Amino acid sequence: MIKIKLSDLLGKHKMTQKALSDVTHIRPATISKMYYEETKRVDIAQLNNICKAFDCEISDLLEYIPDKK
C-alpha cells in the first residue's frame, strides 16, 4: 500500500489545505482527498507541485508499506 503523508507535511510546515491549494494550484477537493488518503490516483504534476511547495523529496510525501499476507 502507498501511504500519502500530506497531513504530516502540512502539520510540519503549519500550513492549511487551503494555503497548499493556493500555492500549488491544485483544487481544494483534490488536496482534501490526498490529506485523508481517499484518492485513488495522483497526477505526477501534482506531486511535483507539492514537493516544490514543501521543498521536499517524493519520499517525504509518499511511503510504500508492504501489504500483510
Q: Does the pLDDT value for residue 36 go beyond 80?
A: yes
In this structure, what C-alpha cell is assigned to residue 4? 500519502
Question: pTM for the complete prediction?
Answer: 0.91
3-state secondary structure of 66: coil
Tell me which DSSP letter residue 64 carries: E
Q: Does the pLDDT value for residue 65 go beyond 90?
A: yes
3-state secondary structure of 3: strand
Query: What are the backbone dihedrals phi and psi of residue 4, each rounded to the nearest 5 degrees, phi first?
Result: -95, 120
Fold classified for 2-64: 434 Repressor (Amino-terminal Domain) (1.10.260)
Q: What is the pLDDT of residue 14?
A: 97
**Widest Cα–Cα separation across the chain:** 41
Domain boundaries, the chain: 2-64
pLDDT band at 37 (very low <50, low <70, confident <90, very high): very high
Q: What is the pLDDT of residue 69?
A: 76
- Cα separation, 63 vs 40, in Å, equals 15
Q: What is the pLDDT of residue 5?
A: 97
**What mean pLDDT, rounded, does the chain reach?**
96
